[in-house]
Amino acid sequence: MPNALILYVNRGYTSPYALSTFVTLREKNLAFDVVEIDMNVDGHKQGDYRTRSLTERIPTLVHGDFALSESSAMDEYLEDAFPETPRVYPSGVRERARARQIQAFVRSDLMPIRIERSTSTVFQHEKPAPLSAEAGAAAEKLISFADALIPADSGNLFGVWSIADTDLAMMLNRLVHNGDAVPEKIARYVRSQWARPSVQAWVDLARIANS
């Protein structure tokens, strides 16, 4: 198939970045194959994957003879390449900029949360220790960011769902899933985003991979 779509993910389905593009593909109703890379044996640093990803990181999207890594770039590529499919970014210029801001923030900041509440605690039932003071401060920063953006009724950030909802809910679920304190409005938002069928399809794959 000359224009087949392939998403390369990590074998344990713990990558929040792979989740983002997986959800984008599902929400756009695109047919795609998932190929697992075993990071435990440095599969991402070898052979064809290494060459095509350019970054030696998971995930990578392949569309025909085009390969792209960096999940938010992949999400945006799919939005541009398949304009006839349901949107995953808001249509308004400012809302779209805000969605990109959220995606950049959860990928570039909050490192203590990413370390102490790794996605293995969400997808592989790893039990974490209480948050350190540093991670607690990062959690406060995340909560105030989320509280400013999530509407009072815990609905989608921009009315209509966007991929920024999934990315923000993934980051917040590192806290919610582990019983760390968050305001009820935010917990409700995370629960409703997590119940989305496209997200649950990923959770199911993770469950099977880690059972």
Ligand X SMILES: N[C@@H](CCC(=O)N[C@@H](CS)C(=O)NCC(=O)O)C(=O)O
Taking CA atoms, 120 is separated from 13, 54, 107, 174, 199, in Å, by 9, 25, 17, 9, 16
Least Å distance, CB 63 to ligand X, is: 16
Cβ neighbourhood burial of 65 (10 Å; 0-12, 13-18, 19+): exposed
What gap in Å lies between CA 169 and CA 149, rounded to an integer? Answer: 12
Least Å distance, CB 16 to ligand X, is: 7
* Binding residues vs ligand X (CB under 6 A): 10, 15, 17, 44, 56-59, 70-72, 107
Least Å distance, CB 55 to ligand X, is: 7
Least Å distance, CB 48 to ligand X, is: 16
Taking CA atoms, 58 is separated from 5, 15, 88, in Å, by 16, 7, 21
Residue nearest to ligand X as judged by C-beta position? 57
What gap in Å lies between CA 208 and CA 205, rounded to an integer? Answer: 5
What gap in Å lies between CA 55 and CA 58, rounded to an integer? Answer: 8
Instruction: Kindly tell me which of 35 and 133 has the beta carbon lying closer to ligand X.
Output: 35
Instruction: Kindly tell me which of 2 and 47 has the beta carbon lying closer to ligand X.
Output: 47
Least Å distance, CB 21 to ligand X, is: 8
Q: Within the chain, what is the greatest distance between any pair of CA atoms? A: 52
Instruction: Kindly tell me which of 52 and 107 has the beta carbon lying closer to ligand X.
Output: 107
Structure-token pair, residue 43? 């599969």
Least Å distance, CB 41 to ligand X, is: 12
Peptide bond just before 59 cis, omega within 30 deg: yes
Instruction: Kindly tell me which of 52 and 57 has the beta carbon lying closer to ligand X.
Output: 57
Instruction: Kindly tell me which of 11 and 185 has the beta carbon lying closer to ligand X.
Output: 11
What gap in Å lies between CA 149 and CA 202, rounded to an integer? Answer: 25
SS3 breakdown of the chain: % helix, strand, coil, rounded to 5? 55, 10, 35
Instruction: Kindly tell me which of 42 and 153 has the beta carbon lying closer to ligand X.
Output: 42
